[in-house]
Amino acid sequence: MPRRAPVPSQHLFVSPSGEALSRWLEAFPRAVLAKPKELRKGSESVKNAALVWLHLDQSLPCVDQLVAIKKKIGTTRVIVLASIPDNEDALALFSAGARGYCNAHATAANLKQVASAVQAGGLWIGEALMQRLVVATHGALSRKTLRQVPEKTPQSFSEKLHLLTARENEVAKTLANGASNKEIARMLGITDRTVKAHVSAIFQKLGARDRLHLALIINGHSPT
Amino acid sequence: MPRRAPVPSQHLFVSPSGEALSRWLEAFPRAVLAKPKELRKGSESVKNAALVWLHLDQSLPCVDQLVAIKKKIGTTRVIVLASIPDNEDALALFSAGARGYCNAHATAANLKQVASAVQAGGLWIGEALMQRLVVATHGALSRKTLRQVPEKTPQSFSEKLHLLTARENEVAKTLANGASNKEIARMLGITDRTVKAHVSAIFQKLGARDRLHLALIINGHSPT
DNA sequence: AGCCATATTGTCCTTTAGGACAATAGCCGG
DNA sequence: CCGGCTATTGTCCTAAAGGACAATATGGCT
């Protein structure tokens, strides 16, 4: 019976500095770190890697970085970590074969979720981008197709969170990511008239004058 | 301390026949089964469901089935099982709020993967469809730009600044602070028709689909 | 002088947003 | 059982947003 190679199980973090953010190690204490140029095809760190996390160097084209890494690691799956996530970049990276794309400052718990999904054979895409992909491709090729998920709920909004009902909260967050009323309606399985009713109630409770203002409040950009 | 409802943990399979394929039960031995019409809003089986698996009735429009189910289960996540998977159906279902879409005859192991990913907050989409989404959307976005965007896609608004004229920049920043077109017009001493012209040009250059999206781009609210 | 980019403005049109007023239904606590 | 709250949906309406197509004027450059 032929002996089997050990199953790769490590997380290999490749970053411009060769150093890790604390939450990466919190999520994966035995992670291996490297700079891009340090990687060698066939090296132990590459062979033992179940997942490779590529922290983008902001001064270089993102897809080039992915392509360069892939040449060294072969078919191992890559999850891209962006310090400043961008939908355009994400799309380009997925087209080029990345299996995940998330914020470099994501929590340890979130990183684990991402790893789990990708190792299960899935892709990890931010919900905002996902909705964009689905809606854009599904013939609803309207201009108004996008949501984005803020990394953290800004404090001013979180302080006001208790003013909203659960449904209002759901609508508010979705709206603040850029969704239109029709899109919110489809996502929540209700009519856009219902969404409008919630939106109006939210405006009143949070003192917003329109949806743009609401988004600024929720994302922490409005002096309220 | 307020009393908490028990955390839903069950898998609820809804199928036209009310019966389960053996691999469903293999994956989730304690799954609950039901026919669509048997479901009642607020019933125990609905309340205790962490995930709802909707096996499509091929004689009915798939989105209608999803919408009908959603009305009964509220915000619980739905994974759609199709006996004959179809990309068009999948897109429509995701647009309508489904969180997963896979073959009804998938293996127990695969069903578990799907469940895990969706429960982690992700979406489960077949790889073929995923690739289609990514490629199609990336291509469409690339073609949409009025002027050719440099190969290096800037990662932040400040990096995109050079794409805008001085006036456009002025309009963009004012808009991102929540101003309406009329307000911007008054501030800059021009008509709101001029503002609209600038705004449209800005949308095209920065890839924004509406003013809310533009504000998100400018304020640096990126996807995760 | 001619060309180009930019700024400004117009008309026409559809879609979306959002307010007002109203209604039904379900859930929960008193 | 009842009242209050929430969710949902309807009709009607105005205002704003945004796209398409078109036009003029100005300044800089060749």
Measured between beta carbons, the chain B residues lying within 8 angstroms of A142 are 209
The predicted structure's pLDDT at residue A32:
84
Residue B2: inside a domain: no
- Is B224 close to A149, i.e. CB distance below 8 A? yes
Out of A125, A160, A184, a domain closes at A125
CATH number at residue B65: 3.40.50.2300
Residue B224: inside a domain: no
Residue A223: inside a domain: no
Contact criterion met (CB below 8 Å) for B123 and A113: no
B200 Cβ contacts chain C strand, under 7 Å: no
B42 Cβ contacts chain C strand, under 7 Å: yes
Same domain, B115 and B29: yes
The predicted structure's pLDDT at residue A148:
24
Task: Please state the domain count of chain A.
Answer: 2
**Range of the structural domain that residue B39 is part of:** 10-125
The predicted structure's pLDDT at residue A120:
60
> Which of A91, A103, A142, A182 to substitute to test the interface with B, most B CBs within 10 Å?
A91
* Chain A, nearest residue to B221 by Cα: A150
Q: What DSSP line would sit under chain A, residue for residue?
A: -PPPPPPP-EEEEE-TTS---HHHHHH-TT-EEE-GGG--TT-HHHHTEEEEEEEPPTTS-HHHHHHHHHHHHTT-EEEEEESS--HHHHHHHHHTT-SEEEETT--HHHHHHHHHHHHTT--B--HHHHHHHHHHHTT---S-------SS--HHHHHHGGGS-HHHHHHHHHHHTT--HHHHHHHHTS-HHHHHHHHHHHHHHHT-SSHHHHHHHHTT-S--
The predicted structure's pLDDT at residue A131:
54
Residue B1: inside a domain: no
Residue B5: inside a domain: no
Out of B72, B94, B125, a domain closes at B125
**Nucleotides on strand D lying under 7 Å from protein C-beta:** 6-11, 16-19, 21-22
Measured between beta carbons, the chain A residues lying within 8 angstroms of B106 are none
Nucleotide nearest to A192 (CA to C1'): D9
Out of A125, A159, A176, a domain closes at A125
Residue B142: inside a domain: yes
CB pairs under 8 A between A and B: 161
Residues in chain B predicted with pLDDT less than 70, given as ranges, are: 1-9, 42, 87-88, 91, 95, 117, 120-123, 125-161, 222-224
- Is B141 close to A106, i.e. CB distance below 8 A? no
* Chain A, nearest residue to B206 by Cα: A88
The predicted structure's pLDDT at residue B157:
57
DSSP state of B76: -
Nearest to B223 among A58, A148, A211 (CB): A148
Same domain, B74 and B165: no
The predicted structure's pLDDT at residue A47:
76
Q: CB count, 10 Å around CB of B219?
A: 16
Sign of CA dihedral A14, B114, A97, A124: negative
Q: pLDDT per position in chain A (224 positions), as tens?
A: 333 344 566 888 888 877 787 778 888 888 888 888 877 777 777 777 888 899 888 777 787 788 788 878 877 888 888 877 776 677 777 767 777 888 787 777 778 777 776 776 566 766 556 655 554 444 322 222 222 222 223 344 566 667 889 899 989 989 998 899 998 998 888 999 999 999 999 999 988 889 999 999 888 776 43
ipTM of this complex: 0.50
Same domain, A118 and A133: no
Residue B3: inside a domain: no
Same domain, B114 and B28: yes
